[in-house]
Structure 1
Amino acid sequence: MSERKATRRRVKTAVETLDPVDIKPVEPIHDDGGKDAPEKPRAGQVYQGNGQQGHPSTALQDFFLENLDHIAALVYTALSFWTRFYRIGHANVVVWDEAHFGKFGSHYLKREFYFDVHPPLGKMLVGLVGLLAGYDGSFEFKSGEAYPEDVPYTAMRMMLASFGVWMVPLGWYTAIELGMSRWACHLVALMVLCDMGWLNISRFILLDSMLLCFTVLTVFCMTKFNNQQKRPFSFGWWTWLTLTGFSIGLVTSVKMIGLFVVALVGLYTVEDLWEKFGDLKMSVRDQVKHWTARVVCLIILPFLVFMASFKIHFMILNHSGPGDAQMSSLFQANLEGNEFAENPLEIAIGSRVSLKNIGYGGGLLHSHVHLYPTGSTQQQVTCYHHKDENNEWDLLPLWDEPPYDPEAPLRFLKDNDVIRLSHATTTRNLHSHAVPAPITKLNHEVSCYGNSTVGDYHDYWVVEVVDDVRRGARSRVDQIHALTTRLRFRHQSLGCYLRAANAILPQWGWKQVEVSCIPEDDPKDAHTYWNVEMHRNDRLPPADIKHFKSPFLRDFVHLNIAMMTSNNALVPDPDKEDILASKPFDWPFLYLGLRMCGWGDDQTKFYLLGNPVIWWGSSASLVVAFGALAVYLMRMQRKYVDMDAAEWEHFLYVGKVAFFGWALNYVPFLIMGRVTYLHHYLPTLYFAVLMFAHVLDHFVFSARRVAPAVKAAAFGICSGAIVGVFWWFKAVTFGIDGPIAEHKGLLWRKTWNIYNE
């Protein structure tokens, strides 16, 4: 029996009589693809060139051949610099989300506190590149507005595009670490280099270049660590495990969707530790060391990096700004330029206040002239995260008590006092009754009713002290203070508690947070906790309480929950058509692109669109890989031998990294309620590209039965198609000038809105 046929034969079962010829070990057939040197790099080793043994050569040739991998990486890096920097400053207007992230960078330069749904690291780096470029933070970054001469937008774009540059060599080295053939490694590098989606998103003042770079870096570090597994606890092993954890911290500190690649590292780690758990030769001591190392490097270290980004964020943004209302009142009081710390400390009847909900994600008690469309149809009461005069309330006596007299002695607010809250701008009274709330039907509706002379006993609220940040437990609180005293408001008649728990009202409620009155008395429900934030009373002296510090951990948790709450609130508006939005099912096969700017004849136009060859091929490869796995498993069950143990393990390892990386980054978007866009698929695409290269490598480049000439032809066709399509569509990335109708041949799918208005 020939050796090649033996690799595809059916193996007899153990109970059958075995022919010694048939059970002869199968030796791998070496195919160098037409070269004398190995085609497939040794994963995890020092990168080797294609040095030829037994052939005379010069020292320069030896150096070149021994460092061929690094030279290729340098060439790809140089090409990446060209593609990322070419005409990068051609459009001198604010493009797409530069309006958001450029503005956030300005806040860092002016040190003004702001709020955004993303973690701060990427935006701090935007501020840093602005500082390095000489930008002073004065530009407003209005969408479509031309950059003034004193805003170095080109330099800022170039520095941020450098993150996109490093994706290419990282992709090259990752393919090497995954043990792919040279053909496949070049294909990965070319796909990362020539995809217009990655290229386009990297050339502007955005966070995506950093997110993509740190995602690729995390995968690279994980594969480097995997190839150190035979040298546990060595210097290289610790180095790459630590760098994997550090890169996890970086990617999650830019955008929360970085958690998806963290999940990939988590699955890899669980499988790795499970295998070690089954190794009976490993001592308990070594088992504990492995677990401890993973916990420290992959959990504690990334979390410390993530927390450090917020600590620096708070340290830099120490001035009052547009995002104050998202933070606790005590945090705001310590911002420079904030007036809360100068307000009177003790609260009295007749004071005008704003009330802040202390529950994570809570806002300010708010009302406006709009009415509930259902229920009582009275004036709406909501929680709102922005400061305006509709957040102000007057503390007044009850209807059966004498009206408030500004000349009478002050009556300070204490625990168990019963008061009436009058909305300052409309004079209506905070009110509740036995009508179901609009969203949380089991709770009572809270509304504003009556006016300064009309009301009833449903306007009465009992003030209950929870505790005080400075004075401690409820028993130590004699009088209620602004900022520091935590309160609950119990409706005197119904016995329910005023609550705001992040239930979002529909469009008729301006998507603000529902305020209701909950019948259950849960003293630990933080969403029923309130404190006085703004306080004005001309009869009381100001109190300087800047020495009341807000704990970092409390601010850290508060801000992260507010970020998640706001992110979840970014749902599609059914009353509006968002021409930029797309669905996750639209992404893998490029059903729709995204216009990044205005589309007028006199405007430079950018269209976010991937390379069709890469997107279609990578998506198809996922299906092919899954089908191949199913066929191999069925053949294995029938005792066919298609690969030896090492080849099978490698096939599974690369496939698992690519498939689970793709699934973990893609599937969550299918169940998200928030609005989605094409650029959300860009991190996911990287894993599809790895799968594309892996499938071609398995069936063509590393296949024993494929002739070297066929491999070279296959590589030429694939790489030529990738580069050729990139060149055909390069204008959508580098900028389309003039009427779009003059640029023919760009509409490969009718669903692309390139030409239609």
Structure 2
Amino acid sequence: MSIKDEKRSLVADNEPVVPLEIKQGPVRPFVVSEPSKQLYFARSFHSTKERLLVAGLAIFTCVVRLYNLSQPNEVIFDEVHFGGFASKYIKREFFFDVHPPLAKMLFAWIASFAGFDGSFEFKEIGDVYPATVPYVLMRSLAAVAGSLTVLLLYFTLRASGVRIWVALASAVCFAVENSFVTISRYILLDAPLMLFIAASVYCFKKYELLPTNSLQSFKYLVLTGIALGLSASAKWVGFFTIGWVGILCLWRLWFFLGDLSKPVSSTIKIAAVKGTVLLGIPMIIYVFFFYVHFQTLTNDADGAGFFSSEFRTTLEGNKIPGNVLAEVGIGSIVTIRHVGTMGGYLHSHDHQYPAGSQQQQITLYPHLDGNNEWIISLYNETEPVTSFQNLTDGTKVRLQHSITKRRLHSHDHKPPVSENSDWQKEVSCYGFDGFEGDANDDWIIEVDENLSAPGPAREHVRALETKFRLKHAMSGCYLFSHEVKLPKWGYEQQEVTCAHSGRPDLLVWYVEGNTNDFLPKEAERISYKPSSFFQKLMESHEKMWKINKNLVESHVYESLPSSWPFLLRGIGYWSSKHRHVYLLGNAILWWSVSSFIGIFAMIIMFELGSWQVGKPILQDADVVNFHIQVIQYLLGFIIHIAPSFLMKRQMFLHHYLPAYYFGILAFGHALDIFVNYIFRNKKAIGYALIFGFTASTVYFFNYYSPLAYGSLWTKDLCQKSQWLSGWDYTCDTYLDSYDEYDKIDFSASMAAPAVTSYADINALIEDESYEEVESFEAIMNKPGDKKFLDQNGNPLEPEEVERILKEQGGKIQKVEEN
């Protein structure tokens, strides 16, 4: 029999579920761990009919995902960040982000391919895209990724035993899942991430269908490793997918150990190969893309301020001091850097605290600046310094700010932000012309020998090499800083205090910049040793972890993980010109998935109880496969959502989508068992019910599509759509009927600048296109003389102006007369 004939015979019945093969061993029966040939061919598509169905699914998905990508023609939501990062890649300007680089680089590569020079910086939500920005092509990347994810879901369901029509229905439901449509239309990381996760799941499911030692199974194992590496390189969520694959490998390894036909040595070899491929390949890919990231971003920029000076010296155009005088002494003009945080340099400026002592502010500032410079003198200096004198452990000094001439000072006042901490005191700059200082200006140097470089740096203060603490002589507290920001009056720079019981690592400082006129020109000089690639890699991850963990500020659209399965609220992405983009899931599918998870948990508990009392369970091949696949996919669901409950950072609905994808895969098996077990003898009814369910998800998507596409809607339809109070998109901006939109010249309004704050209105007032206008406050105080108009030319009262300002991207035009 030829190979073709063998394949035809294996797939003749087109049955993708076969009973487990159980053999009798010398002592006990055992499950044969290797899949049969029949299983692989039955779960692959070979027929012309199925190919046509997949082609139809692809066309349908592309229509849904690629529709009208040019609108809105403004920057929305996190396009500010990820479009901006693409711009920086093209200009090779270093930036910092909490996510790995791959997905951002994909957008940069496609934009560069289209000729984008990076001049548009994606600064604000609502900025209109100029013709020079290939934003439609960049969005197309996300849309194509989203479309491929739909096809992969279909192939994955087929590979795990779902019948053709049920897999197709599940894929159609996924194709019109509003949340996935929304994330795959814009320059966001989620669509590429979901594509790589879906590819990882599919490749591993195909691997499970093949004989372990076959070349084809090794091919899919390698492809799984590549897909896992790509997913981890797009977002750290990909590491959860690696964990899921690892658990499934342990699951299968358990059956290998129980398979009496398979020697233990073979199982150990298989485990070693899997571990090498599924951990080694992703790690190589992950590191490789960081290497490309560092090789691309070679120019120093503001984003480098988060990193150490050793890191920054590897960037072109950096202003990190080099060839610095090694010896620090009395009369040195120095910059002092904090070791324990990313805050940067000890800094002061000619602005006062609004409370407390109301003396000059002391902060940490991450950028190089003249206000970082301090002059070192002895605490009791009465005569001018005439020669160089080292600073040793125990030296009592004063630090005078080189620009304002005030001295570093502490006293018994509460700190400006950490005012409830009894163990911290305010640090300020104090002094005036002719004032010689007082005892509260005195600080004692304590050299930390353990942290300082070996040799003379432990005996006296040397730039870069000596790590030291500054002890306040009067009170005994130590100069301290932590990751607490001052309010806007302190320019959101990092708070500096004097701490009696601060963490030891937050009390340590070192001198970076150093000049001293009493040292000869040939005096020893020192520079930072540039970081190696692996040092940069480790430092980047340390900063990514720390910043990610500290994203704790409240956000208007944040939500708790416990609310995600219930779709209690969405996320506002953009609002302008009577339109919204709002991330909202397809409630029909969303709530069905959540309900199924709860029902399945109850089924498992009931079955465990039945098994305990001796009743037979899992006798049918379809039921066995249903349990295996659903448990595996729900493990993926749990692995991808559980860490969210441990995170203290801001959380949003889109963080649920990777877990939700696994939930949809499990739900696909629920639909399959519904038809092929519950309605086994009346499949026509089962398929009719599934068709009705699919039609309802399509209807829901179509009704709510204006929120995904940012298209026109009516106020009445919008208000009827708000099933839950947490679906907090604004309906008031929509007009009462579609006919009213015909009266609006959208081409003119599209060119209007976005107004999102009072400062923006003031900027518009100063613009040449507005004639002889007064300040915003004056206009608003005289509404009878001058008014703002909406896009329809209708006057706006002050209250309406304020409301529009609160909506991102609201447009306001001003006219001279009523």
TM-score (norm. length: structure 2): 0.75
Asked if the contact 1:341–1:544 (Cα under 8 Å) also holds between the matched residues in 2, the reply is: no
1:242-292 superposed Cα distances (whole Å, 9 cap, x missing partner): 332332222222222333323322332333344545567654533442342
Q: Percent identity?
A: 30
Alignment partner, residue 717 of structure 1: 692
- The answer to whether 1:38 aligns with 2:38 is no
Q: How far apart are 1:108 and its partner, in Å?
A: 0.7
Alignment partner, residue 773 of structure 2: none
Alignment partner, residue 595 of structure 1: 572
Q: Is the deviation greater in 135-144 or in 186-195?
A: 186-195
C-alpha separation in 1, matches of 2:188 and 2:659? 18
Q: How far apart are 1:393 and its partner, in Å?
A: 3.5
C-alpha separation in 1, matches of 2:584 and 2:191? 16
Alignment partner, residue 443 of structure 2: 460
1:315 partner letter = Q
Q: Secondary structure at the match of 1:73?
A: helix
2:110 partner letter = V
Alignment partner, residue 258 of structure 1: 238
Structure 2 vs 1, CA of residues 184 and 439 (structure 1 numbering), >3 Å: closer, same or farther?
A: farther
2:645 partner letter = L
C-alpha separation in 2, matches of 1:401 and 1:248? 64
Asked if the contact 1:349–1:404 (Cα under 8 Å) also holds between the matched residues in 2, the reply is: no
Asked if the contact 2:98–2:547 (Cα under 8 Å) also holds between the matched residues in 1, the reply is: yes
Asked if the contact 1:361–1:561 (Cα under 8 Å) also holds between the matched residues in 2, the reply is: no
C-alpha separation in 2, matches of 1:332 and 1:281? 59
Q: Secondary structure at the match of 1:340?
A: coil
- The answer to whether 1:579 aligns with 2:556 is yes
Q: Secondary structure at the match of 1:605?
A: strand
C-alpha separation in 2, matches of 1:443 and 1:744? 54
Q: How far apart are 1:650 and its partner, in Å?
A: 2.2
Alignment partner, residue 149 of structure 1: 131
Q: How far apart are 1:596 and its partner, in Å?
A: 1.2
Q: How far apart are 1:669 and its partner, in Å?
A: 2.4
C-alpha separation in 2, matches of 1:609 and 1:184? 25
How do 1:304-703 residues align onto structure 2 when only pairs under 5 Å count?
304-342=284-322, 344-346=324-326, 347-359=328-340, 361=342, 363-366=344-347, 369=351, 371=353, 381-385=362-366, 392-402=372-382, 408-411=386-389, 418-424=396-402, 427-431=405-409, 438=418, 445=425, 447-448=427-428, 450-451=430-431, 453-456=436-439, 459-462=442-445, 464=447, 473-475=454-456, 482=463, 484-491=464-471, 493=473, 498=479, 500=481, 502=483, 527-534=506-513, 548-573=529-554, 578-601=555-578, 604-644=579-619, 646-647=621-622, 649-703=624-678
Q: How far apart are 1:670 and its partner, in Å?
A: 2.9
1:38 partner letter = N
Alignment partner, residue 185 of structure 1: 167
Q: How far apart are 1:211 and its partner, in Å?
A: 1.5
C-alpha separation in 2, matches of 1:539 and 1:68? 89
1:445-498 superposed Cα distances (whole Å, 9 cap, x missing partner): 4623533632326631315265899xx62347787665x425222427477765
Q: How far apart are 1:302 and its partner, in Å?
A: 2.2
Structure 2 vs 1, CA of residues 533 and 178 (structure 1 numbering), >3 Å: closer, same or farther?
A: farther
How do 1:217-236 residues align onto structure 2 when only pairs under 5 Å count?
217-228=199-210, 231-236=211-216
C-alpha separation in 2, matches of 1:281 and 1:499? 66
Q: How far apart are 1:677 and its partner, in Å?
A: 1.9
1:387-446 superposed Cα distances (whole Å, 9 cap, x missing partner): 5555x14031122024766xx445566676554333456555445679998499696546
Q: Secondary structure at the match of 2:648?
A: coil
Q: How far apart are 1:106 and its partner, in Å?
A: 0.9
Asked if the contact 2:706–2:713 (Cα under 8 Å) also holds between the matched residues in 1, the reply is: no
Q: Secondary structure at the match of 2:553?
A: coil
Q: How far apart are 1:380 and its partner, in Å?
A: 6.2
Asked if the contact 1:41–1:181 (Cα under 8 Å) also holds between the matched residues in 2, the reply is: no
C-alpha separation in 1, matches of 2:218 and 2:43? 29
Structure 2 vs 1, CA of residues 129 and 279 (structure 1 numbering), >3 Å: closer, same or farther?
A: same
1:535-569 superposed Cα distances (whole Å, 9 cap, x missing partner): 56788879998893212222222221211211222
Q: Is the deviation greater in 357-366 or in 435-444?
A: 435-444
Q: How far apart are 1:313 and its partner, in Å?
A: 1.3
Q: How far apart are 1:323 and its partner, in Å?
A: 1.0
Asked if the contact 2:75–2:127 (Cα under 8 Å) also holds between the matched residues in 1, the reply is: yes
RMSD over aligned Cα atoms: 3.8
Gaps of 5+ in 1: 1-34, 52-63
Asked if the contact 1:40–1:181 (Cα under 8 Å) also holds between the matched residues in 2, the reply is: yes
- The answer to whether 1:270 aligns with 2:250 is yes
How do 1:70-89 residues align onto structure 2 when only pairs under 5 Å count?
70-89=51-70
Alignment partner, residue 214 of structure 1: 196
C-alpha separation in 2, matches of 1:440 and 1:665? 38
Q: How far apart are 1:739 and its partner, in Å?
A: 6.3
C-alpha separation in 2, matches of 1:124 and 1:404? 58
Alignment partner, residue 106 of structure 1: 87
1:13-50 superposed Cα distances (whole Å, 9 cap, x missing partner): xxxxxxxxxxxxxxxxxxxxxx9943546799687589
C-alpha separation in 1, matches of 2:54 and 2:249? 29
- The answer to whether 1:241 aligns with 2:221 is yes
Structure 2 vs 1, CA of residues 314 and 350 (structure 1 numbering), >3 Å: closer, same or farther?
A: farther
1:496-542 superposed Cα distances (whole Å, 9 cap, x missing partner): 765556467899988765656677899xx655554434556788879
Q: Secondary structure at the match of 2:543?
A: helix
Structure 2 vs 1, CA of residues 117 and 511 (structure 1 numbering), >3 Å: closer, same or farther?
A: farther
Asked if the contact 2:410–2:440 (Cα under 8 Å) also holds between the matched residues in 1, the reply is: no
1:97-133 superposed Cα distances (whole Å, 9 cap, x missing partner): 1111111111111111111221222222221121112
Structure 2 vs 1, CA of residues 644 and 373 (structure 1 numbering), >3 Å: closer, same or farther?
A: farther
Q: How far apart are 1:171 and its partner, in Å?
A: 0.5
C-alpha separation in 2, matches of 1:244 and 1:97? 29
Q: How far apart are 1:81 and its partner, in Å?
A: 2.2
Asked if the contact 1:465–1:474 (Cα under 8 Å) also holds between the matched residues in 2, the reply is: no
Asked if the contact 2:704–2:721 (Cα under 8 Å) also holds between the matched residues in 1, the reply is: yes
Structure 2 vs 1, CA of residues 300 and 477 (structure 1 numbering), >3 Å: closer, same or farther?
A: farther
1:69-97 superposed Cα distances (whole Å, 9 cap, x missing partner): 44433332232222221100122111111
Query: Which of 175, 178, 200 is the matching residue for 1:196?
Result: 178
Q: How far apart are 1:616 and its partner, in Å?
A: 1.2
TM-score (norm. length: structure 1): 0.81
Q: How far apart are 1:295 and its partner, in Å?
A: 3.2
Q: Is the deviation greater in 666-675 or in 455-464?
A: 455-464
Q: Secondary structure at the match of 1:158?
A: helix
Q: How far apart are 1:666 and its partner, in Å?
A: 2.1
C-alpha separation in 2, matches of 1:258 and 1:194? 24
Asked if the contact 2:95–2:303 (Cα under 8 Å) also holds between the matched residues in 1, the reply is: yes
C-alpha separation in 1, matches of 2:65 and 2:517? 60
Alignment partner, residue 729 of structure 1: 704
Q: Is the deviation greater in 107-116 or in 506-515?
A: 506-515
1:286-317 superposed Cα distances (whole Å, 9 cap, x missing partner): 34423422432233332232222222211111
C-alpha separation in 2, matches of 1:245 and 1:581? 33
Q: Secondary structure at the match of 1:397?
A: strand
Q: Secondary structure at the match of 1:258?
A: helix
Gaps of 5+ in 2: 1-10, 19-34, 733-818
Q: How far apart are 1:160 and its partner, in Å?
A: 3.0
C-alpha separation in 1, matches of 2:637 and 2:611? 26
Q: Is the deviation greater in 41-50 or in 144-153?
A: 41-50
C-alpha separation in 1, matches of 2:723 and 2:316? 55
1:322-355 superposed Cα distances (whole Å, 9 cap, x missing partner): 1111111022123111122456343454444433
Structure 2 vs 1, CA of residues 175 and 344 (structure 1 numbering), >3 Å: closer, same or farther?
A: same
